[in-house]
Amino acid sequence: MLYLTAFLGIIILGDIVLIPTVYLGVTGALNLPFVIAIAVFANLVCDMLCYSLGYHLGAVRISTLPMIGKNIAMWEKISTVFKAHVVRIVFLSQFVHGTRVPVQILCGAYRMRYLTYMLASLGGAFAWSCTLALCIYLASASL
């Protein structure tokens, strides 16, 4: 039941639930490999939902949003950079708080190839979860 709660919490609240859950895994209260698997799967579910939202909205509809419509030149520059480096951006967005959801939505809006998107997202989610576990392990070992 605790693992299901962690899974749902990570989907809904993200890192607010992920960090203490990984801490419990590092300290042995939970099974760490299973916690990492749950974290990766929860991230993928959330990413799929965001991708689907972007796919449904489309790039044209997103570009007409009031905050973007005022800065159309900036939007075009961002779009050019995004399209050129999309795989790296998807991977790294897992590490930069506040960028993951907009990046996933834009991937759907620009119709990024789904398999490529999922592989980049999976790699980023796994790398983020393992990095977080390592940081928590090192921090708890020094206490």
Query: What is the distance between the alpha carbons of residues 25 and 19, in angstroms, rounded to a whole number?
Result: 10
Q: To which residue do tokens 């299901």 refer?
A: 4
Per residue in 43-99, pLDDT tens? Answer: 999 999 999 999 999 888 887 877 776 777 887 888 899 889 999 999 999 999 888
User: In the structure encoding, which two tokens stand for residue 27, read together?
Assistant: 């300290």
User: In the structure encoding, which two tokens stand for residue 5, read together?
Assistant: 């709660």
Burial class (CB in 10 A: 0-12, 13-18, 19+), 50: buried
Residue-averaged pLDDT of the chain:
90
pTM: 0.85
For residue 123, give Cα distances in angstroms to 74, 85, 136: 29, 16, 20
Q: To which residue do tokens 């991708």 refer?
A: 51
For residue 85, what are the contacts with CB-CB under 8 A and spacing of at least 6?
Answer: none
